[in-house]
Amino acid sequence: MKRLIFILSFIFALQSFAGEQLFFQGNSEYANENYSTAISLYDSILTKGLESSELYYNLGNCHYKTQDWANAIWHYKKSLQLEKKENTLHNLELAKLKIIDRIE
């Protein structure tokens, strides 16, 4: 039983480490204005089953920069579900202002 717990812990640690590396690579691509590449890197973290408020916030920012307003809004809302932050709320409001066809 102890061996199984150790193996599962080790696998989870490897997955987390890989997620951190992808996150830092995504941040680097974002800083270099390679938003599509950053989106791919961040999405690959999600496919590993890892998520965080910061990850969704960064994805929202990437989609905002590529003028994909719907995905930006979705990712900001997902970020807010995990953790309420003032800058996420602010960016969400900015993205909502970009929507042209609104139903009143």
Residue 47: how many CB atoms within 10 A of its CB?
Answer: 7
Q: List, as one string, the DSSP characters of 1-39.
A: -HHHHHHHHHHHHHHHHHHHHHHHHHHHHHHTT-HHHHH
The amino acid that residue 14 corresponds to is L
C-beta of residue 38 within 8 angstroms of C-beta of residue 57: no
Q: Which domains does the chain have, with CATH numbers?
A: 2-97 (1.25.40.10)
pLDDT tens sequence for the chain (104 residues): 555 443 434 344 444 555 789 999 999 999 999 999 999 999 999 998 889 999 999 999 999 999 999 999 999 999 999 999 999 999 999 999 998 876 66
3-state secondary structure of 44: helix
pTM over 0.85: no
Report the distance separating Cα 62 and Cα 38, nearest Å.
Answer: 7
CA distances from 48 to 22, 27, 36, 60, 103 (A): 11, 18, 19, 19, 37
